[in-house]
Amino acid sequence: MIRTGTGGIMKIGIIGAGNIGSNAAKLFVKAGHQVAISNSRGGDSLNDLVEELGDNAESASVEAAIEFGDVIFISIPLGKYQTLPTNGFEGKIVIDSNNYYPDRDGIIPELENGSTTSSELLVNHLPGASVVKAFNTIWFEHLKTKGNTDLPLSERRAIFIAGDDSEAKEIVSRLIEGIGFAAVDTGFLAEGGKLQQPGSAIYNKDITAQEAADLIGYEAFGK
Instruction: Give percent of the chain above pLDDT 70.
Output: 94
Beta-carbon contacts of 67 under 8 Å, excluding residues fewer than 6 positions away, are: 13, 88
Inform me whether the pLDDT recorded for 126 exceeds 70: yes
**Model confidence at 202, in pLDDT bands (50, 70, 90)?**
very high
What pTM, to 2 d.p., does this model score?
0.92
Helix (H) or strand (E) holding 57: strand 57-59
Read off the pLDDT of each residue in 93-106 and give the average, rounded to a whole number: 96
Residue-wise pLDDT for 147-171, tens only, equals: 999 999 999 999 999 999 999 999 9
Beta-carbon contacts of 43 under 8 Å, excluding residues fewer than 6 positions away, are: none
Neighbours of 33 (CB within 10 A): 23
DSSP-assigned letters across all residues of 117-152? -HHHHHHHHSTT-EEEEESSSS-HHHHHH---TTS-
Read off the pLDDT of each residue in 9-34 and give the average, rounded to a whole number: 96
What pLDDT does residue 164 have? 96
Straight-line distance from the first to the last Cα atom of the chain, in angstroms, rounded to the nearest whole number:
10
Residue-wise pLDDT for 43-84, tens only, equals: 678 989 999 999 999 999 999 999 999 999 999 999 999 999
Strand partners, 11: 34
Cα 176 from Cα 94, distance rounded (Å) = 14
DSSP-assigned letters across all residues of 182-216? EEEE--SHHHHHHHTSTTSTTTT---BHHHHHHHH
